[in-house]
Structure 1
């Protein structure tokens, strides 16, 4: 088992903003985009992008209700688009770090193959039984 090197906080912020990490972090990027918690990791990276904008709008002069509404709209729109395209974003990160297209999706699919098979069996048993 090889030891995955983690980027330091500044490198991680650069990575969250879309930057490429040095080659020695290549395996960590694969783990980051395919681990069991990859969706939560994606949410953390998205917060780095959306968070400063929300903070600025919260600090602007004006009625508090309006500022809170702006922050809420920034969060809803920002996270919505982030999660809609999260698989593509993960694949793009992997390609940027030298992995072939589709690597992340393939690894995530393999990790859930057994539970997907069981879910399909339950679906077929419940909804595809012969009619009497």
Structure 2
């Protein structure tokens, strides 16, 4: 069963399809706009790390279950593997997410352009918020100066 994302037309994939997607598989066309959202939303970096950890879960489980060594060595190997895997994953984060968007049927560069546009909007909103706060502070200062 799929779940609509707040009336936006984005269809969130069910868990089994998301796991396939996290492992690098493609999603059906109805999830196309969700893939773009997933790779361009404000939390796209966190989502990327979550997908990377899912990818590392299988080798981690195999090492913990099958390596004939003490638990300390197994945990050290798993910790080192996760650390190196995350470094590699973060180094290629933009390229990996762009490939997911291309696989969903978008033109190359779509995710980067969408993230840049969203960043500009966020910067403008932050600027307006700071400007309004400065105006409120100035009004309070003027009021206090007038009370003297």
Per the normalisation by structure 2, the TM-score is 0.73
Higher normalized contact order (CA 8 Å, seq sep 6+, divided by chain length)? 1
Aligned-partner Cα distance in 2 for 1:17–1:55: 15
Alignment of 1:79-118 (within 5 A): 79-113=86-120, 115=123
Segments of structure 2 that go 5 or more residues without pairing to the other structure are: 1-6, 128-148
In the other structure, the counterpart of 1:125 is none
Higher CA-based Rg: 2
> Cα RMSD over matched residues?
1.8
Distance in 1 (CA, whole Å) between partners of 2:80 and 2:60 is 9
1:2-81 matches, within 5 Å, as 2-59=8-65, 60-81=67-88
What is the distance in 1 between the residues matched to 2:48 and 2:83? 15
- Aligned with 1:83: secondary structure? helix
Once the 2 structures are TM-superposed, how far is the Cα of residue 3 of structure 1 from its aligned partner?
2.5
